Amino acid sequence: MKKIAIIGSGNIGLSLARGLVKADYARAEEITLTRRNLSHLDAYAAEGFVVSADNVAAVASAEVVILAVLPQQLNHVLNEIIPQVKSGHLFISVISGVSCAAIKARLGAGIQVIRAMPNTAIAIGQSMTCIASDHASSENLADVIRMFETVGAVVKINEELMTSATALCACGTAFFLRAIRAASQGGVEIGFHADEALKMAVQTAKGAADLLLLHQTHPESEIDKVTSPKGCTIAGLNEMEHNGFSSSLIKGIKLSAEKAGSLYTKE
């Protein structure tokens, strides 16, 4: 198994690390997690992960380097690690809005860089991960696709769509979670205690998503089965649409995609 270094072990880096171990893709001892303040990684050290504040040493000891810092933190990290970067390294970047070309411009044109856009459900093997590359070898691309397939579904896309993938799939986790919270708040208004309302909303959302996954149907075809003529579902659904339900999701996703494309500045 190739040694992995995750540079910037925050929310997504740690979710990825947990997911890869849970999926038996890697052992914790084979993954180095870096972060500036190591006290946040005590629980991970106890699970067997190698934890370090030294990015340079982490890169030197790894074959696969996963970049998971914020876009505005990237240039500092790349400048720091350049002396240890070798042609055999494979870089995977999960950073929004930074192209493979921008990373190669700093590390060297010969370095293999593949972008992956997972979401936090990667911690439980349920990510939707989009992958794009710019002249990476087919062997490295296949390896990276295999890696992310162990922790969810993978779609290979053109790199120019990575910011759209960020909005729909990575930010999307938050959008669907907020929808579930709103549904549970509605549930409280109509008579349930908060804990039971949340449990009901979560299972209803899971069941709705599973209907689409298992039946491979369109949402409207499943909606048609719920909306009885002159019934209460269509009354509620139309009220939501009059208040901009679909429109607000679409507008939010468009704004997130625009923002994802403007998070990084080259300087």
Ligand X SMILES: NC(=O)C1=CN([C@@H]2O[C@H](COP(=O)(O)OP(=O)(O)OC[C@H]3O[C@@H](n4cnc5c(N)ncnc54)[C@H](O)[C@@H]3O)[C@@H](O)[C@H]2O)C=CC1
Q: Which residues bind ligand A1CAB (CB under 6 A)?
A: 96, 166, 170-171
> Are the beta carbons of 166 and 117 closer than 8 angstroms?
yes
Residues with Cβ within 8 Å of 2's Cβ and at least 6 positions away in sequence, in order, are 30, 62, 63, 64, 90
Is residue 94 within the footprint of ligand X (CB under 6 A)?
Answer: yes
Which parts of 150-244 fold into alpha helices (H)? 162-165, 171-189, 194-215, 219-226, 232-242
Q: Is 71 annotated as a binding residue?
A: yes
**Residue facing ligand X at closest CB distance:** 10
3-state secondary structure of 156: strand
Is residue 73 within the footprint of ligand X (CB under 6 A)?
Answer: yes
3-state secondary structure of 252: helix
3-state secondary structure of 6: strand
Q: How many residues bind ligand X (CB under 6 A)?
A: 26
Q: Using the minimum distance from each CB to ligand A1CAB, give the nearer residue, 197 or 260.
A: 260
Among 99, 112, 119, 184, indicate the residue that binds ligand X (CB under 6 A). 119
> Are the beta carbons of 27 and 48 closer than 8 angstroms?
yes
Q: Using the minimum distance from each CB to ligand X, give the nearer residue, 71 or 252.
A: 71
- Residue 162 CA to chain centroid, in angstroms? 12
In the complex, what is the shortest distance from the CB of residue 22 to ligand A1CAB, in angstroms, rounded to a whole number? 21
Residue 90 and residue 140: Cα distance in Å, rounded? Answer: 8
3-state secondary structure of 34: strand
Is residue 184 within the footprint of ligand X (CB under 6 A)?
Answer: no
Among 4, 6, 103, 117, indicate the residue that binds ligand X (CB under 6 A). 117
- Residues in 23-52 that interact with ligand X by CB under 6 A: 34-36
Q: Is 118 annotated as a binding residue?
A: no
Q: Using the minimum distance from each CB to ligand X, give the nearer residue, 8 or 187.
A: 8
Q: Using the minimum distance from each CB to ligand X, give the nearer residue, 73 or 204.
A: 73
Q: Using the minimum distance from each CB to ligand A1CAB, give the nearer residue, 26 or 102.
A: 102
Question: Binding partner of residue 34 among ligand X, ligand A1CAB, none, CB under 5 to 8 Å per kind?
Answer: ligand X
In the complex, what is the shortest distance from the CB of residue 182 to ligand A1CAB, in angstroms, rounded to a whole number? 20
Q: Which of 171, 176, 134 is nearest to 156 (CA)?
A: 134
User: What backbone torsions phi and psi does residue 235 show, to the nearest 5 degrees?
Assistant: -65, -45
> Which residues make up the interface to ligand X (CB under 6 A)?
7-13, 34-36, 55, 68-71, 73, 76-77, 94-96, 117-120, 170
